Amino acid sequence: MQSASASHFSNGFSVSIHIRAVTNPYLEPLVSALWRLIFWIIPTFLYLIYVNQCNPWTYLKLTTNRGKGLLWALAGCLWFALALSYRHVLQGIPINLHLGFGAWLDMVVLVGFVEEIPFRGLVFQKLNEFMGFWPASLLGSFLFVCLHLPTSPYTALYIFVFAWMMCVVLKRSGSLWGCIIIHSLNDLLSLVV
């Protein structure tokens, strides 16, 4: 708990006022999650309902080919296990599972939904309707990198390749679920090693 106090008057009379800010480790991550929902997810659904005039669940591929999407997610789990083993066993980098509630909520649970629904679910698919797969996946991946700036050139390249791979997963599986789960695992990996 943080506190601040103030006391002084010109006539020598003093008053102490203590202001205490209550710090709740759960409030800030929940407000952040709500903000992401309001800023990214709701506008995507509203655009699809009122402008595109379609069922957003179907357009975003959240109700189609769930089995194939989960198979791709399983492949992503294999990638996660291999990368974690490489970093931990061969490179000797310790695994850090002491993450706070905010890190788990924002960077693991919600990131797949909050970033994949608007970017692969809407932006990439809209670009794909007008340009075809290759230009749409490259432009969509570039826009995804722009969302993560500023960052190092190495990290920007990694994000670009990762975003492009998520476009491939969406195209191959026909489901956004694989992208959502793989994205969450990718960010979990970046947090724990």
The pLDDT score that the predictor gives to residue 22 is 56
Query: HSE on the CB side for 67, CA within 13 Å?
Result: 0
Mean pLDDT, the chain, rounded, equals: 86
Please tell me whether the peptide bond between 150 and the residue prior to it is cis, using omega within 30 degrees of 0: yes
The answer as to whether 2 is a domain residue is no
In this predicted model, which residue has the larger pLDDT, 9 or 154? 154
In a domain, 113, yes or no: yes
What's the pLDDT at 191?
Answer: 80
- What are the tens digits of pLDDT across the range 64-118? 998 898 888 888 788 777 877 777 777 777 777 778 888 888 878 888 999 999 9
**Confidence band of 57 (pLDDT split at 50, 70, 90):** very high
Nearest to 181 by CA among 114, 113, 119, 122: 113
Q: Is residue 17 part of a domain?
A: no
Please compute the mean of the pLDDT values over residues 2-8 and round it to a whole number. Answer: 49
* Overall number of domains in the chain: 1
Q: Is a pLDDT exceeding 70 seen at residue 10?
A: no
Range of the domain at 142: 25-192
Work out the angle at residue 111's Cα, subtended by the Cα atoms of residues 63 and 173, and round it to the nearest 5 degrees.
Answer: 35
- Helix, strand and coil in the chain, % to nearest 5: 70, 5, 25
What pLDDT is recorded for position 11?
55
Domain-located, residue 171: yes
Q: Is 16 within a domain?
A: no
Q: What is the pLDDT of residue 3?
A: 47
Does residue 51 surpass a pLDDT of 90?
yes
With respect to residue 70, please indicate whether it lies within any of the assigned structural domains: yes
Task: Determine the pLDDT at residue 1.
Answer: 47
Cα distance between residue 88 and residue 131, in whole Å: 41
